[in-house]
Structure 1
Amino acid sequence: TRNEPKEEIRRKVEKTLHFVQLDGFENRPATKLSGGQQQRVALARALVAEPKVILFDEPLSNLDAKLREETRKELRSFLTELKITAVYVTHDRIEALSLSDTVAVMKSGRIVEMGTPWEIYFDSDRRFVADFIGRANFVEGKVVTVGEPYTMIDSAIGAIACEKKSGVSPGKAVTVCIRPEFIRVLKGHHADGSNIFRGRVESLVFVGDAYEGEIRVGETLLIFRIEPTTAIREGEEITLRFDPRHCSLLLN
């Protein structure tokens, strides 16, 4: 529809194929390409028109895990180099966090929160967002004191110290959000410091690069993720701790 000269079309096609590392594939049928190559062809088709904005609608959903990771890295590199604005629709939190400068979390067709990937993952104000964007422990409690440097929470597992947050006051009901990767498992009894609790390992699953499991503290189950070299077993009584800087307060 642009009625561009054939030479200009060929130049743009060659330039775009080179950019997506598909030199020499001009005449190869799409059915003869790998999944990753087909994704690059789709990207090249969008880029050749030199758009100001590109919409991606779950472009990696049909790829296997390893290829999805490789293609995700390539896509971020392409978009960064070209400095093109992209709107990327996905249900995959890793794609959302790793590809974006700004994340918008939607519910029922409405944006409920926007922020940087770091803000959305670590400092959300909403339980829906904190739960949607990644696995987390949610512990209900009430604010006891608001001071420097920490806010103290009375909860079902005991006293929890969290970094101070605006909008909280003594007596206010809150939910403490603790990501499983921030829980540290310790052998023996450790009495010094904040956010140290005794618990029993209820389940333990080896997932390759980590152990994932559950620890019961009183009547509360907490999920955790630790290095695979950590020597613990199911049924063992252990000490767990988490840094006050690594838990966030959600206002109820």
Structure 2
Amino acid sequence: MFEITVISVLMMCLGTTAYATITSSSFKVVSDVRLSDYTNNVLNVVKNVYSHITCSSQCETDCYSFSYNKKTKECKTYNRELCTGDSDQQSSNTLVFVKTRSNDVSVVTYFTSSTGMTRGKAKQYCDDHGGHLLVLDSNAKWKHFSSHQAYQDLTLSVGEYWISMTFDDSVVECDAKAKDEPWRYTGWGRWASENREPNRCSYQYCVKLSNSRMRSTECISILKAICKSGCIDSTIN
């Protein structure tokens, strides 16, 4: 991650007189952002924008982040800070920037739904309440989550909850002919040790946190959601 100071200059010429309006804001570029999690937070979409510098001038009142697609020249502004490290599938054509903070650390909170719901509705619940489903794809993120006060206050060490991870057999191979039908997943995971988790890949495409361990499960299961709002500093990966 690095910081840039973006300066946009707009010149308007009337006869021999030139008027310049200068808007200056400080942003930092972030990577690994799952932009699909922030569709409800888009403030404005501007087409045919020449550069990310010009795009930055659109990020003003109530704007905390912007994205710029170098290929399509599309600029989007957002009313939330976009979190780094929540995806490894961000397009190489897309640049994402967030406004810098004085201490470079934003407040992270975790919260749950009061009732159970399917995985699709759990994602929508988190989106509607200013967060997104908990991402657990590294030991550092697990340590941050499990050491947070909310983990103790909400007794999140027990019970079953939706988290963001899902499997797709076009990306992660399903060994449907083997015992317990394991997913051939090689990424980080705090998996339950029994039954060769993650397993039953022919029909268990979603992942739950069950008594602090991850298990694959059917996406139509009824569970509470664990949501996260705010961003963990990008040094956590």
Fold in common (TM above 0.5): no
Pick the structure with greater CA Rg. Answer: 1
Give the alignment's TM-score, normalised by structure 1: 0.29
Larger RCO, structures 1/2 (Cα 8 Å, 6+ apart): 2
Give the alignment's TM-score, normalised by structure 2: 0.30
